[in-house]
Structure 1
Amino acid sequence: MGHFTAALQAEGSKIRKSKMIWVTLAIFTVAPLMGGFFMFVLKDPELARTTGLLGDKAQILGEATWPAYFSLLAQIIAVGGLIVFGFVTSWVFGREYADRTIKDLLALPVRRSIIVLAKFIAIFITCLLLSLYVIVVGILIGMGVGLPEWSAATASEGIYLLAVTTLLTVALSPPVAFFACYGKGFLAPIGFVIFMVVCAQIIAAIGYGAYFPWAVPALYSGMAGTAGGLTAISFVIVVLIAMAGFAATVAWWLAADQQ
């Protein structure tokens, strides 16, 4: 337990002191600001046009309500989170190769599975905090815009939607970690994330997104207007992908001396 605590503290310290965390915070700050602007335009499009914020020929669809806004924030986390959380994961694992510290970690008298577990938990906590940041900033912006239909029930349903979307998105991080180890750096995992995002869009468009794990968070968030035909199998697939990615990453570290 002592080794695990020390490893977790070390990973947390690396993340806190890195520039990576500030980059992700900046990205996740712009996202709710854009969502708030979109709601502001929907709430009063004529005011947006008269003040020059919206062109005369611009067409904006949707409604400016709290349920719609919570769904929009969930979509931001679902799509943006795949990239941002993937970036965090690729940094946590890939930097060991970029900074040439992987040999030092492998030489430590600590089980390698403990180091990998500490990294994943640090990633999980970081991604949850980033999502919490988006939720808090988003709610404050929504209050500033003055969106209608606020109630305790609406808030609880919206926060539940955001929480589940976050968990589904974070669960897709372990395969990224494996590609960071396999590619020994940042390019392979980031390329993998971008490829999966593109595939998710295509597969969801042809109607099979419920069976493609990287499309499940977006569908659950309401990007397709509804839950997108998700079933229990959809969530099981996401869990299996998470377990497979974790197992593959641990296996890679256990055999790292032969790689």
Structure 2
Amino acid sequence: MASALVLSPSDSRNDSDGEARAAGSCGASSMTSPDSTTSVEGVDARMREAGENRLRILLVDEHLLLRQSLRALLDTDPALEVVGEARTVTEALKAVDRLKPGLALTDLGLPDGTGINLASELRARGSLTRIFILSAHAMPEHVKAALDAGVLGYALKDVSYAELVKGLHAVIAGQMFLCVRGSDESIKAGILLQSAQERRPSITDREREVLTCIAHGYTNKDIARLLERSVKTIEKHRSNMMHKLDLHSAAAVTVFAFNNGLAL
């Protein structure tokens, strides 16, 4: 039995008792947060309304059949777009440079390395591509190493399609998503919570105000008028905020704001 854990930066601030909150389910488990459904629906709706591009995904796996199967499944989601495939770390690095995907969905074990190696190298290069590992193995040391390398999503290959899509949306919205065996509580709670706290982004009060305004659909000119600042200043705050939170579009900012209670 496996269960999914979705943890956003605000969770690490608000859960003072040290317990991570679970959302969604894998297999027969059913631990659902109040907003887990809304957040996924919100992604789709806001992406369509804003006319933003679909989430661009690179598939990285040694096995052609698995890549083709994942592509066929993911292509049924209007918010997702598979833009390329790779079978090795080397091929994946070249593909990321060429295609600039928003997310790389990779196996843990690859012919010339691991998904963790891929994440580490992309992080060292300053890449904005997020990493989601889909593996047959979830040993505590593997998960911890992955999170330390900057991986935001980790799931076993027996995850349901619905849970996988939920995880992809969570990761692109800046949350951590973990779906492993239910017995590995130390992974789901301790390791993930610790890693989230270590990576908790810090934005200024002004950047937070700009984020909230963007979530409500205001343009830079609107925000400048509301906050009595120049458009150039607002553009700078917006750029800094999006860089810190690793967000790449107004739609992603909106999703992040609603998921973290910043759009009130």
Which has the larger strand fraction? Answer: 2
User: What range is the shorter-chain TM-score in?
Assistant: under 0.3
Bigger relative contact order, structure 1 or 2, given CA contacts below 8 A and separation 6+?
Answer: 1
Higher helix share: 1
Question: TM-score normalised to the size of structure 2?
Answer: 0.27
